[in-house]
Amino acid sequence: MLGNQALETLPVGQPIQLLSQSAQQFQLVCGDVPLAQLQSLNAQQAQLLSLSVSGDLLAQVFEAAFRLLPELQSVVTEQQAFCQPSGYWQKQSEQTWVLWRGAFLQWPKPWLSNDVSSTPHLMQLVNGQYRPMRPAPQTGVLYQRYIPWLDAHLTLVGLSIEQHLDCFHRWQNNQRVAAFWQEQGSKEQHQAYLLKALADDKNQLLIVQLNGEPFAYVEAYWAKEDRIAPYYDAQPYDRGIHMLVGEQHHRGPHKVKAWLASICHYLYLSDPRTQRIVSEPRADNQVMQNYLQQHGFAKLNEFMFPHKKAALMWQQRDAFFQLLALS
């Protein structure tokens, strides 16, 4: 059980693994160090019997449990000392607490590189519109996640002109990308495009990487300040996404399953007030619409932008955490 000698660091370079001790009992270990013991109650629930970690390691252990047991939906315990952080555990009786998968996935610690500190809710008049105060765009590694079916680490990085202009320029001049984005041009034109986007605090520009290799570009934006706002009932903390995959060898549904869920996860974690993510792919881009629908986005209607006919699609926060659940 958790005590004064609880581990606060793990052996370097050793992954957390799942070892079966019997048909119903299994153990999470790192190298030869035991971390937690669980007993299966049924396919979707397990009881936490022992725990030998504390601090930031708790997030790593529970992340491994839910990842290595993809059908597991909840962990229960009769030891209140195990219920850390307490706000994520639900008390079911005088002696029972439960950690739901959907609740744990909203714990930022395993995935976000920075502590979550939402910008205070302060309405401001900007360019003739009342909207909340927005945080400045971030740089560096913002989100990281291990993708088991790819055996790779996915990271979301805040775009840097110095580091990412070359790949952005190459991707935008790819014929496949240009057919939808229509942003072909010189490196100087693309630098000006990115500088303008970075100067607007409605945007968070992201580069998606697998094992350190950049392969996709994302414009995450606050929908209230975007051109999409007049076409639906945009709420103050709705986010929107524009996406492109620039590297051909990173295309395909098995890769989309990794990066699209991770982008949505990052946006929901980075501000708990975000309840919806919207997207407006071109109405004839059926491939992207299918991918979005497979990941919990509903198609509401089609409408005319000045530059294209678009499909309005959105995903609800509850749908993401309760149904998709990353696994």
Catalytic sites, residue numbers:
280
d(CA 304, CA 311): 9
Sign of CA dihedral 245, 251, 257, 262: negative
Structure tokens at 83: 């219920």
**Contact call for residues 190 and 205 (beta carbons, < 8 A):** no
β partners of residue 141: 157
Which residues have a Cβ under 8 Å from the Cβ of 281 and sit 6 or more positions away?
Answer: 288, 289, 292, 310, 311, 313
The half-sphere exposure of 163 on its side-chain side, counting CA atoms within 13 A, is: 16
Nearest to 35 by CA among 63, 16, 22, 20: 16
Cis peptide bond N-terminal to 110, omega within 30: no
200 by Cβ neighbours in 10 Å (0-12 / 13-18 / 19+) ranks as middle
The half-sphere exposure of 70 on its side-chain side, counting CA atoms within 13 A, is: 7
What's the length of the chain?
Answer: 327
